[in-house]
Amino acid sequence: MVALTTFSDARKPMEIQIQKESPRCVACNKPFAHDQKHYSLLKIDGNNFLREDYCEACWGEHRGSATDHDIYSHWETKYHDPAVARATPQEQFMPLLNLCYESVTQTGFDAEAMAYVCALVLRRQKVFRFVREERDEASGRNVLIFADKHNDTQMRIVDPQLTESQLREVKQRLETHIGTLKEETDEQ
Ligand SMILES: [Zn+2]
């Protein structure tokens, strides 16, 4: 369920529930394959949104038969099979994630720099989501807060204020480290 908060009047937030995507077409009942392109439609029924998922073939017909006023929104999407998602190997980001956690528990510039660069890469891989930056009053340093979506927790990463050459050097160290990890995994 995706919860959207809308405001029916200025003070009273109203929770609206949207159903998760259906694993099959609402019209022909054919199951969607993982990553299959299809269409989702939202209709308003009182305070609720009704969600209907259509395969491409059925979308053409049903789109025409629905009257505009009861369609809230529609969009093209891809079916995300949770079973396939669970089976997707996590090795690609797990070494990096472990290294990041390992580095934040250590002190010193090298560890801080490594944690920081790991966090940036994990953010690019969408494992981390940037939340905010804040100033640590005790140390007077900037701290970046990331949401770790894999472990469902938050990470505080000190911004080490790397120069360009330091950043290059850390990236190189990271690549060597990840490369070593990969070789170890390959040998198993
Ligand atoms: Zn269909």
Q: How far is the CA of 140 from the centre of ligand 1 (A)?
A: 59
**Tokens 């070494």 -> residue:** 95
Residue type, 59: W
Mean pLDDT of all residues belonging to the chain: 80
Q: How far is the CA of 188 from the centre of ligand 1 (A)?
A: 44
pLDDT tens for residues 89-115? Answer: 555 788 888 899 889 888 899 999 999
Q: Are 53 and 39 in contact (CB under 8 A)?
A: yes
137/93 Cα distance (integer angstroms): 32
- DSSP assignment of 55-121, as one string? EHHHHHHHHHHS-GGGEEEEEEEE---HHHHHHS--TTTHHHHHHHHHHHHS-SHHHHHHHHHHHHH
Q: Is the pLDDT reported for residue 162 higher than 50?
A: yes
pLDDT tens for residues 110-133? Answer: 999 999 999 999 998 888 999 999
Q: How far is the CA of 71 from the centre of ligand 1 (A)?
A: 18
Higher-scoring residue by pLDDT: 39, 19 = 39
